[in-house]
Structures are given as structure tokens and as C-alpha cells.
């Protein structure tokens, strides 16, 4: 049996104790509880660890504690970097920390395998090495919810490019773990037959040449197959929830035009935000818009 433990770079478990009390422990399962980003490791098997950053907002560090746990676990956003990037780059790119501090949610920034994620039929070293990134992310979510820091009903996954494809794959294979996903400039490149609906928000630029809006391009450095179009992912997720095509305009902000299916089974909805003229980049409003979308959904 695998025991899941969060390992901090320094410090012990001082301050943890059993019983009911309102004093914040210094750590929970090796995870510091003070406000700020913390560099941590998670064992994925007997020999290997994976690295991630965890941002703790003051709402948790300054909130009420009972029995060594937060009285109210917080929502969790797992943010996955693009190919050839890192957790630090994703943190800088999205700016989720400042929003998390303001609104009170956790943000985990995991590192991929040699800067890539195994999103199914892409990408790079993670795909070639058949790295079990679904297993890694599932363990990370289970650990953070299991120790009482994160609310299991409010776990959200977002990603950029290769990380967006990984967010798709996790929701396809583990839809019971996530309430909603948000993908930015990514493609669905894995077999996807979820056994329950998941709320999905998609941002994609019409001028993206890396992962073209209408499909095409080159899937990987050693794979000439094209990416599927954005419409393919929309259809997979809306059909899983028995929803029509997105037609309800919910946002029109400059070049960003968002249309939604409306809500269906389990409260799921699919929202497509077309970024007219947008290239392969993270749109500036996406971080706030994604959180607003996530906050409307919890796992039933």
C-alpha cells in the first residue's frame, strides 16, 4: 500500500497534535501552513519523488483550525505548465497567487517529467517514457484533500498547451476527482470516455499556429500527425453531459468571445472562449475568468 505524504524541503511537524484546538500547526503532513509559496515533493513510488509548488493563502493560515486541520478546507486549483516550461514559469504566466490570496484558494503548480506531460498521444519525454502523470496528479489531489487542506468537492485543474492536454486527460480518466477544468491553447489527444460529466472552459486563439484552432499542425517533434480541432473537445464534453452546442453568449470582451452550452447533468457546462486573433499564449483575462467559472461548480 502506498502511503502518500507531502514532504517539505525543511522543517518538521512541530505544532501538529490530536484533539480539538484552534491553534494553527506549523505543518500538516510536512506541508508548511504559513502564507506563501512552498516547494514540496511527493513520493510517487518507493524510489521516485515529483516536485510541486503549493501556494497557501492567508485565508488558510489565518483561519480557524480544529484538530490540526483547517475548520474549512479550501478550493484547490492545480495549474499545469506547457511543454518545455516549468512550475515556476506557470506561476509567473498565470498570476494565480495574487487571486488566491485575495479570494482564498490553494494553488498547486506541479512539474512535468523533463518539462513535459503525458497527455495521451503527446508530448515529448513524458509520452515516450510512458510516465504515469494521471497517477501523479491523482496522488497529489488525494494527498491535499486527505490531509484536510483542500476541499475534495472543489478541485479544479487548468493547463496551458501540453498542460492543457494533460488537464483534459486527467478529467477523461478521473472525472470523479475534479469539479471543473480550464484549458488554454491545448488539444484533446487521448481517448476520452468519461463516466460522469465535467464542467469545461476552453480558451483558444484563432491565430494559434502551434495548436491550430481548426486542427492541424504537428503533434510532436517526432510525430507528424495533426492536432484535432477545438470543436472535437467541445463535442466530447458536451455530449458527455447531454448538452447542445455552445450558443449562449456569456462574455464578449474585446477579442474574447465566450459561448456556453448552459448547464446539464450534474451541473456541468461547456464554455468555449474564442480569442479572435489570439496566438499561442495565455490571454491576460483568462486567470480571473477561469476562477469565476470554477467557483460556480462543485463536484456532486
Residue 18 pLDDT class (50, 70, 90 cuts)? very low
Q: CATH code at 107?
A: 3.40.50.1820
191: nearest Cα among 169, 211, 220: 169
177 found inside a domain? yes
Query: In the structure, what pLDDT confidence band is assigned to residue 21 with cuts at 50, 70 and 90?
Result: low
Burial 54-65 (b: 16+ CB within 10 A, else e): bbbbebbeebeb
pLDDT in tens, 235-252: 999 999 999 999 999 988
- Whether residue 12 is predicted with pLDDT greater than 70 in this model: the reply is no
Q: Is residue 157 part of a domain?
A: yes
Given the DSSP bridges, would you call strands 74-80 and 65-66 parallel, antiparallel or unpaired? Answer: unpaired
CA–CA distance, 299 with 56 (Å, rounded to integer): 22
Q: What pLDDT is recorded for position 19?
A: 45
Q: Which of 24, 28, 23, 3 is nearest to 13 (CA)?
A: 28
| Phi (first) and psi of residue 165, to 5 degrees | -60, -35
Q: Please tell me the distance from the alpha carbon of residue 133 to that of residue 266, in angstroms, as a whole number.
A: 26
Give the number of residues written for the chain: 300
Q: Is residue 11 in some structural domain?
A: no
Please determine, for residue 135, whether its predicted confidence score (pLDDT) is greater than 70.
yes
Residue 84 lies in a domain: yes
Residue 218: inside a domain? yes
Structural domains of the chain, count:
1
Q: Is the pLDDT of residue 1 over 60?
A: no
What domain range is 100 assigned to? 52-295
Within a domain: residue 184?
A: yes
- Per residue in 67-113, pLDDT (tens digit) is 999 999 999 999 999 999 999 999 999 999 999 999 999 999 999 99
Instruction: Flag whether 62 is in a domain.
Output: yes
Amino acid at each position: 500500500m502506498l502511503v502518500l505524504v507531502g514532504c517539505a524541503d525543511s522543517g518538521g511537524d512541530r505544532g501538529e497534535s490530536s484533539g480539538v484546538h484552534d491553534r494553527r500547526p506549523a505543518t500538516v503532513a510536512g506541508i508548511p501552513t504559513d502564507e506563501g509559496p512552498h516547494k514540496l515533493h511527493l513520493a510517487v513510488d518507493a524510489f521516485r519523488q515529483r516536485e510541486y509548488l503549493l501556494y497557501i493563502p492567508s485565508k488558510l493560515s489565518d483561519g480557524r483550525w480544529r484538530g490540526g486541520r483547517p475548520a474549512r478546507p479550501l478550493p484547490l486549483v492545480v495549474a499545469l505548465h506547457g511543454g518545455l516550461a516549468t512550475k515556476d514559469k506557470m506561476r509567473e504566466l498565470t498570476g494565480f497567487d495574487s487571486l488566491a490570496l485575495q479570494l482564498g484558494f490553494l494553488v498547486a503548480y506541479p512539474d512535468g517529467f523533463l518539462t513535459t506531460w503525458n497527455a495521451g498521444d503527446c508530448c515529448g519525454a513524458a509520452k515516450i517514457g510512458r510516465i504515469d502523470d494521471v497517477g501523479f496528479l491523482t496522488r497529489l489531489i488525494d494527498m491535499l484533500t486527505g490531509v484536510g487542506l483542500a476541499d475534495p468537492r472543489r478541485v479544479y485543474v487548468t493547463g496551458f498547451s501540453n498542460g492543457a492536454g494533460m488537464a483534459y486527460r486527467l478529467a477523461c480518466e478521473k472525472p470523479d476527482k475534479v469539479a471543473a477544468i480550464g484549458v488554454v491553447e491545448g488539444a484533446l489527444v487521448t481517448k476520452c470516455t468519461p463516466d460522469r460529466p465535467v464542467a469545461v472552459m476552453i480558451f483558444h486563439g484563432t491565430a494559434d499556429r502551434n495548436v491550430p484552432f481548426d486542427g492541424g499542425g504537428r503533434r510532436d517533434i517526432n510525430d507528424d500527425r495533426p492536432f484535432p480541432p477545438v470543436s472535437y473537445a467541445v463535442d466530447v464534453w458536451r455530449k458527455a453531459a447531454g448538452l447542445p452546442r455552445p450558443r449562449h453568449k456569456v462574455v464578449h470582451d474585446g477579442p474574447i468571445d465566450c459561448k456556453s452550452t448552459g448547464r446539464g447533468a450534474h451541473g456541468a457546462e461547456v464554455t468555449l472562449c474564442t480569442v479572435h486573433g489570439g496566438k499561442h499564449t495565455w490571454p491576460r483575462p483568462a486567470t480571473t475568468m477561469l476562477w469565476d467559472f470554477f467557483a460556480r461548480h462543485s463536484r456532486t
